[in-house]
Structure formats: C-alpha cells, structure tokens
Amino acid sequence: MLTKILSAAHFGLKTIPVEVEVNIASKGFPGFNIIGLPSKAVEEARERVKTALVNSNIKFPEAKITVNLAPADIPKEGSNYDLPIAVGILNALEVVALPEEKSYFFGELSLDGTLRHTKGVFLLAISAKENKIKNLFVPTDSANEAAVIKSLNVYPVTSLNDLVMHLNSTKVIAKTKYVEAQDLLEEAPVEFDFSEIIGQESAKRALEIACAGGHNLFMQGPPGAGKTMLARAIPGILPPLSEDESLEVTKIYSLTGNIPPGGSLIRVRPFRVCHHTVSKIGLVGGGSDPHPGEISLAHNGVLFLDEFPEFPRSTLEALRQPLEDGIVSIARAAGSVKFPANFMLVAAANPCPCGYLGDPRRECRCSPRQIMNYQNRLSGPLMDRIDIHLNVPTVDVEKLAAMSKVKTTAEKSASIRERVIKAREIQLKRFSKDGIYNNASMKNKHIKKYCEMADDAQLLLKQAVNNYSLSARTYFRLIKVSRTIADIAGDAKITSSHIAESLQYRIRTQNKFF
C-alpha cells in the first residue's frame, strides 16, 4: 500500500515542502530502503523508526518498505524525517488515519517512541503559513517555536502512542495556544553598567552613537584601558528588538538549533563574542551543508571581536562583503544560499604587539618592523568599512583613586539607552517603507533622500575629504554617522557640528596609527 505524508527540508533559510512517500509491498524480500538523496542522518532513520515502533508496542511489518523523499533532486539533511516516515508506515498498515486537512509532520524519534527537540520548527511554521497548511505535528519541546505564527494548529506530540490515539480520535492532543510575538520580547541581561566605567567619556559617547545608528566601531588602546569592559556594557544601551527583527533572528537560531527545548522567539538583541581562534567557516558560515556563522547569529545585534589583529587575516578579509551588503552568500555544488548578516561590528585592538605604543606612562618595546607587521594585519579596505574609529587611553591613576572614594555621578546605562531608543524610533519611522531599520544600513539612494545637509556642513565635509584624502566609502559613512548624531539631538537637518563630531571618529586614529 502506498501513502504520502507532508514534511519539509531546509536549504539555508528557504523551506521546501517534501512529500514522504511510503510504500509497503507484500511481495519481495523484506527490507527498508530510503531514497531521494538522503544524508547519513536520514538513512539512520530506518533503525530509529523501526525500534521506536517496536518499543511503542506496534508490530513492525516483515515486508519490503520503500520510502521516497520527493522531490528527489534536493539533498535531505537531518533527523526530522523520522516522524513522517513512522506516520507513513502506520497509515500504510491502516493503524492510523490521516487528517483531512493538509498537515506537516516533523520531528526526531527516540528509540522509546518519544519525540526529541528538533531544530527548524519555526521555519516549518512559516512555510506552513505560506503554503496554506493548517496543521503541524511537531515535538512538544519544539512546539513553542511555531506558537507565534498565527492561524496554525500546532499539535505538540510527546510520543508515537499519543499521536496514534490523536489520529484515531481516541485521545485528542491539545493545540498549543497562539502567543503574540510582542508579548515575548524582554530586556537584555546587563553585565556592566556605564556608570561603573571610570572616565572614558569620549568612548561612551562614541558607543552611544554606534548603538543609536547600528554603526561599526573600532576601539584601540593599551591593555587595561577598558576596551573590553566598554564593549561588554553595550547590551545595556542597545534598543529592544522590534517584532520584525525578532522574527528574522529567530529564523537563524531555529535553523542552527540555538533555540533551547521549550523556547520560542529570540527575545533580546544578539551579542556574540568570538575568540580569535575561530575558523573562517565558524565566523562567516559555510560547510558542505551550508550553515550560518557567527556573523549571521549576530544579525540585528552585535558581534564583538576582541584582539582584532590576532584573527587570521583571511578570516577578517571574509568580513568585507557582509559588512558592506548585510548578507553573506555561500556557493556550493548543491546550490547557493544567502544568510542575513546585518550586524554591528565592535572590534578592539592594541596599537602594537606589546600594547604600549603612544602610551605616556609606559615605553613601547616593539621595533618599527614589529609595529608595522602588527598593524598591517588589518587591511585598509576592512578598516574603511568601520564607521567609528576610537582611541581609548589609559585612565589616570589619580582619577581611579578619587572615584573609588566618592560616590560616582557617572551617567547610567538606562538614561543613555533612552536616547538610543528615541533615535532608533526616528529611524524606524523614517525607513518604514524601505525595509531597513537603522542609519548604518542606508544605501546611497537613502542618503540622498534622508540626509539633508546645511551648506556649511557640506562645505566642511568636502574640505575634510580633500585634506585627508578620504575614500568615497568613507565620505558616505561620515554622512551616516552625522545623520545618527543629528537624530540623537533631534535635529532634522545635518549641521556642521554633526559633521565635525563624526570627523573626529575617523581622522585622528587613521593618522596616528592606521
């Protein structure tokens, strides 16, 4: 007997409906074959399904079983085909009846017949809505991922026995209740408050601008100056995720299995930290079965790279295209995929191998060649894609001692965050019809439309470009940063003071070290 069950395959962030065809033939030698370009994990479904059925007190047929995963020209990966294969066998044996409405079956089976948490359920729910499929049968631990998609019947399946009783109307599985995405969003946990950081007022201002506009930022200074602490304080001033941003991030986390059992939407803006030993594939994404890297996991959030020059140069150079376009394209023999990678890069570095070049209190021990080789690890094209360049000097010891004796009056992260949120709200309203969320994502057409400058501001910018031989890319990035500074101030037009402040974050570091 032949039966057909609907499931799905994920290729990048694209979900393709898969028809699981199960045929049980009474003639021929007993066997169990899976065809349709299955991966090793899919082929192993034979043993999982057979053992799960036996341990669920369901007699496994001694017959020739053929399972075809159609369309057959698309590679099938993962363990999510266990459930549809099992349901197909049960239906072919007339143990269960299939629902009248179109239904997706998706999930990995344990050997005892229970279902395990399976990645990709959120993408499955989106595909179900697009293809007008009403019912989803997924593992209980994964059902919350689909609960935020409206107009779907999401059935959390605990075991094969429960599913058999539900399909036979013996004991109905209660549907997972729909949850408004906005109700799930929450504040990010904060490791450091800005009020705890002594001094570094210029750096705090630069971080505020970067977070308000989503601009890439590079910090340079001697060891112990506070670069890492400043970066770790960033989550405390980031604006909350909007509903659309949260849905975009959740797609990536669902695909990679980064949503824990029982989890749902990604509720806080991502803040990813990478060690300098990370591989190029780990950072950018790739592999034989293309998967997202850290830059995609940081989508709509922050990627912090400490000890920036210590990363392999080839790895850093791979960031150039994603920093420019906001997406990463990965081409393989099986096809090409694109992952979103619209992240805010925060990088920190020492000025030289010993770290004390330019420090007024400690002498640099590095030779000119060592300094040159160290700084040449960061290429000009890469640094040109970073909007804000910042020097972080050592805090004076007298200031440290004085601050430890008296109660600090430094501004708290909460008040800085209020300004950042107001600036982002202006940008969300401005770009409501453009499909972008912040000033850093503007293309040239957006700059022309939204970045009106006063005459003296235009003149100052032209003079700076000519005097310091700035590139065309730097010219437009200066305008973006100036637009953010104007948004923080609540000004509709970019003035010379906004241009002047944005210039100080490009010229001084560029001339002194890089």
Is residue 453 over pLDDT 70?
yes
- For residues 174 and 345, give the distance between their C-alpha atoms in angstroms, rounded to a whole number: 44
Is residue 188 over pLDDT 80?
no
Secondary structure of residue 271 in the 3-state scheme:
strand
Q: What percent of the chain has pLDDT over 70?
A: 95
Q: Tell me what pLDDT residue 233 has.
A: 94
Residue 166 φ then ψ, to 5°: -65, -45
Q: Please say whether the beta carbons of 389 and 203 come within 8 A.
A: no
Q: What is the DSSP letter of 345?
A: E
Q: Tell me what pLDDT residue 290 has.
A: 86
Is residue 239 over pLDDT 60?
yes
The H or E element containing residue 317 is helix 313-317
Q: Tell me what pLDDT residue 477 has.
A: 94
Helices 45-55, 82-92: inter-axial angle, 10-degree rounding: 60
Q: What average pLDDT does this structure show over 139-161?
A: 94
Give me the residue spans of the domains in the chain: 2-179, 194-512
Secondary structure of residue 503 in the 3-state scheme:
helix
- For residues 471 and 464, give the distance between their C-alpha atoms in angstroms, rounded to a whole number: 11
Q: Please say whether the beta carbons of 109 and 10 come within 8 A.
A: no
* Selection from 96, 90, 176, 170 nearest residue 140 by Cα: 176
- For residues 85 and 38, give the distance between their C-alpha atoms in angstroms, rounded to a whole number: 13
Asked whether this chain's domains 2-179 and 194-512 adopt the same fold, the reply is: no
Amino acid (1-letter code) at residue 49: V
CATH topology of domain 194-512: Rossmann fold (3.40.50)
**CB-based contacts of 253: which residues, under 8 Å, 6+ apart?**
259, 266, 297
Q: Please say whether the beta carbons of 211 and 239 come within 8 A.
A: yes
pTM assigned to the model: 0.90
Q: How far apart are the first and last CA of the chain?
A: 71
pLDDT tens, residue by residue, 382-416 = 999 999 999 998 877 666 666 655 555 778 999 99
Tokens for 318, please give them: 């791979």
Q: Tell me what pLDDT residue 181 has.
A: 74
Q: What is the mean pLDDT of the chain?
A: 91
Higher pLDDT: 402 or 250? It is 250
Q: Tell me what pLDDT residue 514 has.
A: 42
- For residues 405 and 399, give the distance between their C-alpha atoms in angstroms, rounded to a whole number: 10
pLDDT tens, residue by residue, 433-452 = 998 999 999 999 999 999 99
Q: Tell me what pLDDT residue 509 has.
A: 46
Q: What average pLDDT does this structure show over 228-235?
A: 94
Q: Tell me what pLDDT residue 49 has.
A: 96
Q: What average pLDDT does this structure show over 181-194?
A: 76
Q: Please say whether the beta carbons of 12 and 31 come within 8 A.
A: no
Q: Tell me what pLDDT residue 28 has.
A: 76
How would residue 199 be classed by pLDDT, with cut points 50, 70 and 90? confident
- For residues 151 and 129, give the distance between their C-alpha atoms in angstroms, rounded to a whole number: 8
Is residue 146 over pLDDT 80?
yes
Strongest mean pLDDT among 197-206, 252-261, 284-293: 252-261
Q: Tell me what pLDDT residue 394 has.
A: 84
How would residue 302 be classed by pLDDT, with cut points 50, 70 and 90? very high
Is residue 510 over pLDDT 50?
no
pLDDT tens, residue by residue, 260-269 = 999 888 888 9
* Selection from 486, 501, 490 nearest residue 447 by Cα: 486
E strands in 187-245: 217-220
- For residues 418 and 504, give the distance between their C-alpha atoms in angstroms, rounded to a whole number: 24
Radius of gyration of the chain (CA): 28
Buried b (16+ CB within 10 A) or exposed e, 450-489: bbebbeebeebbeebbeeeebeeebeebbbbbbbbbbbbe
Q: Tell me what pLDDT residue 513 has.
A: 43
**CB-based contacts of 500: which residues, under 8 Å, 6+ apart?**
460
Tokens for 510, please give them: 């560029």
CATH number of 2-179, picked from 3.30.230.10, 3.40.50.300, 3.40.1160.10, 2.40.50.220: 3.30.230.10
- For residues 65 and 21, give the distance between their C-alpha atoms in angstroms, rounded to a whole number: 10
Is residue 182 over pLDDT 80?
no
DSSP character string of 398-434: HHHHHHHHS---PPPHHHHHHHHHHHHHHHHHHTTTT
Q: What average pLDDT does this structure show over 235-243?
A: 91
